[in-house]
């Protein structure tokens, strides 16, 4: 069960990083989000945290997994739709 959760968190973090990299840096400013560098660092940090959690380095493996998943989820749920340049569906 722990391995399934860890793999899901790693995939979530990698998807967030891959979606962040090709975005136009100006869209972050236009949509009043933090800079592209901030979000690239945040999603990259999420990948690192989930990998540390997966490898079980230290006593806080599950905490690192969940922290990385939360960081990636914030990007995917809030920032990515805003900077994609697509109009809202509502």
Give the pLDDT of residue 1: 59
Domain count, the chain: 1
Residue 75 counted as domain residue: yes
In the numeric block, the tokens 């136009």 are attached to 24
Residue 71 counted as domain residue: yes
Residue 78 counted as domain residue: yes
Residue 34 counted as domain residue: yes
Structural domain harbouring 59: 2-83
The model's pLDDT over 10-60, given as tens digits with 9 standing for 90+, comes to: 999 999 999 999 999 999 999 999 999 999 999 999 999 999 999 987 788
pTM score, whole prediction: 0.89
Give the pLDDT of residue 50: 95
């Amino acid at each position: 069960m722990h391995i399934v959760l860890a793999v899901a968190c790693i995939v979530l973090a990698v998807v967030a990083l891959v979606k962040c990299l090709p975005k136009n840096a100006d869209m972050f400013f236009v949509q009043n989000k933090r800079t592209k560098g901030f979000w690239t660092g945040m999603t990259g940090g999420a990948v690192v945290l989930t990998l540390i959690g997966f490898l079980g380095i230290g006593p806080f493996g599950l905490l690192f997994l969940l922290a990385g998943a939360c960081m990636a989820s914030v990007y995917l749920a809030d920032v990515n739709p805003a900077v994609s340049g697509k109009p809202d569906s509502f």
